Amino acid sequence: MSSSRVAGTDGLRYWGEAEKLVLAFDVGNSASSVALTHLTWSCAPLSTPSALRTVLTFPFSSPSLTPIPSRTPSMMAYDREDTPRMYGAEALTPEGRERIKEEGWVVVKGWKEQMRPMDSPSSATSTSVAKKKLLRKAKPAPLSSPSPYAARLAPAPASMGTSSTSLASMKGSTWSLSSEGLLDAVDARADYDWVDLTNTPSNGSGGSSTKAVAPVEKKRKVVTVHSGPRLRDIYAAWLRHLTACARAWFGERTPNGEATFLRLWSTCVFVIAIPADWTTAETDMIRESMEDAGLLPERFAVGRLIFVKEPASIAHCARRHTKDPEKTWLKEGGSFVLCDAAEEGVSIIGYTVAANHPRLRLRAYEPVSRLPAGTAAITSAFRTFLELRLARTKFKSASIASHLVEEFRTKVLPVFAGVAVAPDAEYKLRIQKDGAEMDHKLEKGIDSGARIRDGWMTLTAQDVEDVFKPAVNDIIVRLSSVLSRGSAKHILLSGGFGESPYLVHRLRETFRPPHASLVIPSLPAHSAVCEGALRFYLSETLQPRTTKFALGVMTAVDWATSWEKAMASREVSVGSGGQKYVLGKFSEVVAKDSLLDPSTRWTKTFNMQYSLNRDEPPILAETLWLFDPDAALEGDDGWIIAPDGRPRPGYRIAGRVVAELDSLVLSLPERRTATEVYVHLEVQLVVYVGAESLEARFEWEEEGRPAAGPAIKLSHETF
């Protein structure tokens, strides 16, 4: 017998007995995305590029509304009954905007920002003792037993957001989810604290019908004000919509995708990326939203809903998608600073690499800090710039300012690199949209102070740098502080604003090796969190699998040369040459605890003589036996069959391999001569990792060409 095994680290394969579907969500302040993977036996999703897939089609997506196909705007339009009527980009279409205006619907967006934990849990109650409190105990963690109820599948999205409606911020528990590992929503060890939902209209974690409202002084006329949907309901509707989009996309882009999605729905795993400073109050509300949406049944089992922190997700994505082949920034014992420069702000956190192989282990040496310095801050600074430039001019108009801001976001933000790079660069912005509604007088207007001529405003490189510089300076100061505290040598830059040429240039100019170096993932920033969350989950849950039992065949022992005491009570057979032998000894082919790997093949050679004068076709058949040492008798001597003819404890049949060898006999040169009576046949029994399980078959060569018999599949219980 011989066994060839390829050593390596490619053990991160899926060895589950059943297929599994995993969906990962990145719900951002401005846009959201979904990634998914379909796990099948022995697949390697972390090393197969096509295994991790990002949804690229959302309803009403278009280059003008959603230039990034893997992102859909995080917004919804609600009617006055708090029912969602439009999702994502539909609320941005001209038809959608018109209907929202006509129906008086409320458009909600930026709801994730309302989930920021408060700095102090007592701050909500210190302002007024007289205000009514709504206290509730966070819903206890569900039991870990599988639910007898089937989860309802979200419907496919139908034709179904820019409001400043204030949503309640989440106040209460400061029990931090400090672990950088996976956070299971069903965790009996979690300490769920009391949550104070005081004086917050449309708060998200209240009871199913309770909405907190601000107190009204006595003797004052009470005016009923539409407070809008609850935060919990908003998350439920949005997550249901994202799941429906993923289902539709998977069904369109995958053979039998719709059937596969429905078949695996009841065991689907959801992975949600969350900010680093969220507490159990926030994750508890998301769990309830998933149940409200029908995405998970009540009392769902452990492992169905997993939370992963956004910074750690980005690090896992960058581990795969950085151009540094040696991954020096992830050296064990070293430190790095992650700068997530997103739309609404910049998050900075310091990490120490506790381990890099085989799994990445990070430990935060500096808690996350946030700066109002992202794309939104740059846009706000440009608005202030416009107010000063357009003051006392005939171009001072809210509509002109809004259009110039949009022009700035589209034409300047993505390309501006700084005065040092292009000192003479100028940027021209249209002051109004082309069309029938444009003011032709403004098109001909000239204002040298505002630098407007013929419908265009001109910005110099210095004008733009003055807008960018304060926010970027704040980022550099904070990075310098966090770098020094952890003696970090690398900065991992991610996020939409992280793709700004100006920010990249300033960071490269400020932080240079050997003091610090900038690491930028090659994957676009808009996919980093979503794919990273999925990679994080898979890297933690995929485990190498070994065989639980030994697998072998029954062989004969020579009476003369290998006699042992146990043979005395057994039947002795005599071969054609007069050789005595005893049948029944276990011969191992696959050892117990053998690592499963698609590149591994376990073999055993069989030699047989076949008489050319026989009428029966040459057939080789062999029974495979499993041996469980834990169930065997003490002092087991390796005999499968007891003297009474019954299998001994610890041995059971796994299957029977059969092969017809007619073609092998016909291919032998001896078959063509009349002098030969017997031919020698050499056949290999091969056990290997098949498409769905371990498989076994006979293999041989016919005139130098490989040939094989039919394979049998071994059930998962057998190994």
In this structure, the answer to whether residues 233 and 308 fall within a common structural domain is: yes
In this structure, the answer to whether residues 621 and 709 fall within a common structural domain is: yes
DSSP at 212: B
Distance CA 675, CA 671 (A): 9
In this structure, the answer to whether residues 287 and 381 fall within a common structural domain is: no
In this structure, the answer to whether residues 508 and 444 fall within a common structural domain is: yes
User: Structural domain tally of the chain?
Assistant: 3
Does residue 76 lie within any of the structural domains?
yes
Phi, psi at 304, each rounded to 5°:
-85, -30
User: Where is average pLDDT lowest: 83-92, 93-102, 664-673?
Assistant: 664-673
In this structure, the answer to whether residues 390 and 465 fall within a common structural domain is: yes
List CB contacts of 406: < 8 A, sequence separation 6 or more. none
| pLDDT tops 50 at residue 158 | no
In this structure, the answer to whether residues 273 and 350 fall within a common structural domain is: no
Residue 428: CB atoms within 10 A of its CB come to 14
Distance CA 194, CA 235 (A): 21
Alpha helices in 412-527 (DSSP H): 440-443, 461-486, 501-510
DSSP at 146: P
Does residue 1 lie within any of the structural domains?
no
Share of residues in the chain with pLDDT > 90 (%): 49
Structure tokens at 80: 């006055």
Q: How far is CA 387 from the centre of its chain?
A: 43
Question: 476 and 470 in contact (C-beta within 8 Å)?
Answer: no
Structure tokens at 638: 């390796």
User: Where is average pLDDT lowest: 194-203, 395-404, 440-449, 458-467?
Assistant: 194-203
Does residue 10 lie within any of the structural domains?
no
In this structure, the answer to whether residues 512 and 536 fall within a common structural domain is: no
Residue 639: CB atoms within 10 A of its CB come to 20
List CB contacts of 473: < 8 A, sequence separation 6 or more. none
For residue range 586-624, list pLDDT tens digits in order: 999 999 999 998 889 999 999 888 888 777 888 999 999
CATH code (residue 259): 3.30.420.40
In this structure, the answer to whether residues 246 and 141 fall within a common structural domain is: yes
| Best CA proximity match to 289, nearest among 204, 169, 182, 211 | 204
For residue range 634-684, list pLDDT tens digits in order: 767 888 888 777 888 999 999 999 999 988 888 887 766 656 677 888 999
Strand order in the sheet with 346-355: 361-371, 346-355, 335-341, 490-494, 517-519
In this structure, the answer to whether residues 496 and 534 fall within a common structural domain is: no
Does residue 6 lie within any of the structural domains?
no
Mean pLDDT of 82-107: 94
Distance CA 348, CA 330 (A): 17
Structure tokens at 663: 């073609």
Does residue 7 lie within any of the structural domains?
no
Residue 116, classified by CB atoms within 10 Å of its CB into exposed (0-12), middle (13-18) or buried (19+), is middle
Question: 521 and 323 in contact (C-beta within 8 Å)?
Answer: no
pLDDT value at residue 435:
64
In this structure, the answer to whether residues 282 and 364 fall within a common structural domain is: no
pLDDT value at residue 325:
62
What average pLDDT is seen over the chain?
80
**What is the bridge-based pairing of β-strands 550-558 and 580-590?**
antiparallel
Does residue 170 lie within any of the structural domains?
yes
In this structure, the answer to whether residues 399 and 464 fall within a common structural domain is: yes
pLDDT value at residue 282:
92
Q: Which residue reads 């102090």 in tokens?
A: 120
For the chain, count helices (H), then strands (E).
12, 32
In this structure, the answer to whether residues 309 and 337 fall within a common structural domain is: no
Q: How far is CA 446 from the centre of its chain?
A: 53
pLDDT higher at 509 or 129: 509
| pLDDT tops 50 at residue 193 | no
- Domain with 354, as residue range(s), is 323-520
CA contacts within 13 A on the Cβ side of 362: 30
Does residue 12 lie within any of the structural domains?
no
Structure tokens at 60: 């009403």
With bands split at pLDDT 50, 70 and 90, how would you rate the model's confidence at 209?
A: very low
Distance CA 312, CA 12 (A): 19
With bands split at pLDDT 50, 70 and 90, how would you rate the model's confidence at 240?
A: very high
Share of residues in the chain with pLDDT > 70 (%): 78
Please list, residue by residue across 279-299, b when 16 or more beta carbons sit within 10 angstroms of its beta carbon and e when fewer do.
bbbbbbbbbbbbbbbebbbeb
Distance CA 708, CA 685 (A): 10
For residue range 160-190, list pLDDT tens digits in order: 332 222 222 223 322 334 456 777 777 533 3
Give pTM, 2 decimals. 0.78
Structure tokens at 273: 């990326």
Mean pLDDT of 466-473: 96
Question: 714 and 695 in contact (C-beta within 8 Å)?
Answer: yes
Does residue 13 lie within any of the structural domains?
no
